[in-house]
Amino acid sequence: MNFFTIALRGLWRRPVRTGLTLLGISVGIAAVVALVGIASGYEKSVVNQLDVIGIDVIVSNMEGGMMPQVFDESLKPKVAELPDVEEATTVLMKMLMVEDAPMMMVSGREWGGFTWDQLKVLEGRMPRDENEKAVVVGRLAADVLEKEVGDTVQIEIDEFEIVGIVDGGSVVENGAIILALSRFQEVMGYEGKANFLDLRVSEGISEEELEALMEEIETIYPEGRAVRASEVVGTSQGFRIAQAMSWSTSLLAIIVGILGVMNTMLMTVFERTHEIGILLALGWKRRMIVFLVLCESAILGLIGGIVGILIGFVSLELLVQTDTIRGILEPDFSKELVFRAIGIAVIVGVVSGLYPAWRSSRMMPSAAIQS
Amino acid sequence: MDSQDQTDNTATPIFDVVDVTKEFDQGKVQALRGVTLRIEDGEFVSMIGTSGSGKSTLLHLLGSLDHPSSGTLRFKGQDIGNLPDPAEFRAREIGYIFQSFHLLPTFTVEENVQIPMFGLPGNTAKSRKERAVELLEAVGLSHRLGHLPTKLSGGERQRAAIARSLANNPTVLLADEPTGNLDSDTAVQIMQLLGKLHAEHRTTMVLVTHDIEVAENASRIVQMKDGRIISDPKAPAASHQSHPS
Ligand SMILES: Nc1ncnc2c1ncn2[C@@H]1O[C@H](COP(=O)(O)OP(=O)(O)OP(=O)(O)O)[C@@H](O)[C@H]1O
Ligand SMILES: [Mg+2]
């Protein structure tokens, strides 16, 4: 028998209460894991997509919503002629309900632009030219839509032939429907408009030159913002709202967890006043009692955290199987997230044990024994 | 036993209690009203008195489970009335035995005996266990090591509690009505055990009871009433405690 067994024995004494407290913590931690996993998974997936395509800078008007506002295509030549801009290409991208899929990325890309380059045809072919009423679909999108080459897909009010299934090297690309910009503009009623201007800049550009370039673009297009590809997700308002929501939900979960554990530990301390008195009479130091209470609440936190991570992981995995999420993001279940979740859980445990521990240490042994 | 008075008075006593009072509830309750008492090393003292006379309160003060309101309380010449952290003193010097045993219900008998050993440094898990088994053998409970206290009879529980009180090899055993919850036959056995332990180890023993037969196991019987000592064969002559009120 050691100190740790004594703490465990204390918890085991009220298995139902301990179990319920654990459930409370683990649901909270599961929420943290799932929400943060989704948010950072989304960020990673998008960054990965832009990286694969080779986009350095994105120009868009991110005001309001997950998808930016449209601008006139005439912006492109003005930006393209700036020094250090290697290539520029316009994209009109929308999240649409496509047939049975509740959310699907549809990406109309300027014909001949570099955004087509990384697509590898797995089956079928690319559209013959920009006038063909055809789309290629990423392999995840094909899966979600249950389509094969030769099928048609309805986008808004129009039907397109699926001429190819492609691998774009990232979840976002593989979950998308890709077609020529002019065809998509037509369907959406956005003739001459796009909502992204993707840039490749010259290789040896310095930080300062890049800053200057981005500033210059913003003077040409005052409503828009030029952002490095690696930072683009963070500047999206929709993403920021989603992230804030995920963190505030996490915070709520943490507060509820702390209150739950604190309540349990306070009950434990009151209930065991007599027992604590005996321990003191038997020569236990007050700080041993404090440590015992903290140990018990830290164990609650730790076990709750581990269970919570498992629940969070399983629910993320299940969530990714749903058609809503599949092809939009790959959940980010990183080591950091695991450590953070365990850290949060243990801190929740210890913090909520502080007050009960302090209470327990203030008892006068003679009075505690008589209670 | 009076013949030893002179020699005893020269040696440093185990407990030297001088004019100690204890109040509760901001003075509304006066549990001890000026108690003076000397207990020598190796003595076996019984304290008797009616309910509410302050016996338990005095025992708590001796075990440093509470502070006196006034007066001095010395253990081997050292003031213990207001130790900042009395835990070490309790763990090292005091073994406590209670009327209702106070074994921890979620620990086996053998684990219960180990509990006080956590109060002192230098014990390994192995040494704790070995000592617990040894002590339980000494009180005749070696067949009950792995049982929970609830599975034991009252007499067995008190034996386990006695083994626990000896865990750190204390200087003093303080027993508060150790036979109060036992039938008379079992009470006799427990008193025999305590008598035997006292005889073998010369542990100083202070026993609180209101059963005169139990009290007579001791070599000295101190009687309390209303927070005062009203009779003590070894009372210091100078400040003999009659009550002039
Ligand atoms: N924590 C306390 N708060 C208030 N009053 C107390 C407290 N402890 C003891 N008392 C009071 O002090 C007096 C002495 O109590 P104590 O427990 O010492 O008596 P006792 O001689 O042990 O009695 P008994 O034989 O019933 O155990 C009683 O009047 C009791 O009500
Ligand atoms: Mg009493």
Structure confidence by residue, pLDDT tens digits, B151-199: 999 999 999 999 999 999 999 999 999 999 999 999 999 999 999 999 9
The neighbour count for residue B194, using CB atoms within 10 Å, is 25
Q: Could you give the C-alpha distances from A241 to A37, A66, A204, A233, A285, in angstroms and in order?
A: 15, 9, 35, 11, 50
CA–CA dist A122, A126 (Å, integer): 10
Query: B220 — alpha (psi -120 to 50), left (phi > 0) or beta?
Result: beta
Calculate the CA A60 to chain-centre distance: 22
Residue B1 pLDDT: 43
For residue B169, being part of any structural domain is answered with: yes
Q: Could you give the C-alpha distances from A221 to A21, A63, A194, A216, B130, in angstroms and in order?
A: 55, 13, 13, 9, 83
For residue B3, being part of any structural domain is answered with: no
Please report residues of A whose CB lies closer than 8 A to that of B128: 1
pLDDT at B241 over 80: no
Residue B138 domain boundaries = 10-231
Paired strand residues for A98: A101
A349 in Cβ contact with A262 (< 8 Å):
no
**Amino acid letter at A346?**
V
For residue B238, being part of any structural domain is answered with: no
How many Å is the maximal CA-CA distance in chain A?
A: 92
Cβ pair A365:B65 closer than 8 A: yes
For residue B182, being part of any structural domain is answered with: yes
For residue B243, being part of any structural domain is answered with: no
Q: Give tens-digit pLDDT for B130-154.
A: 999 999 999 999 999 999 999 999 9
pLDDT at B6 over 50: no
Residue B84's pLDDT band (boundaries 50, 70, 90)? confident
Which helix H or strand E contains B92, and what residues bound it?
helix B87-93
For residue B2, being part of any structural domain is answered with: no
Taking residues B105-109, what's their average pLDDT?
94
The finding on whether B29 has its CB within 6 A of some atom of ligand 1 is yes
Q: Using CA of residue A71, residue A72, residue A78, residue A81, what is the dihedral sign?
A: positive
A52 in Cβ contact with A332 (< 8 Å):
no
Cβ < 5 A residues, ion ligand 2: B 56
pLDDT at B66 over 70: yes
- Outline where chain A has alpha helix (H): 3-12, 15-53, 75-80, 139-145, 171-174, 181-188, 207-220, 232-235, 237-271, 273-281, 286-321, 335-361, 365-370
Residues of chain A with pLDDT under 50: none
> Tell me, what CATH number does B175's domain have?
3.40.50.300
Q: Give tens-digit pLDDT for B30-55.
A: 999 999 999 999 999 999 999 999 99
Please report residues of B whose CB lies closer than 8 A to that of A286: 85, 87
Number of domains in chain B: 1
Name the average pLDDT for chain A. Answer: 89
Residue B10's pLDDT band (boundaries 50, 70, 90)? low
The percentage of chain B sitting over the pLDDT mark of 70, rounded to a whole number, equals 92
Indicate which residue's Cα is closest to atom 29 of ligand 1.
B52
ipTM: 0.89
Please report residues of B whose CB lies closer than 8 A to that of A12: 106
Nearest to A283 among B106, B116, B125 (CB): B116
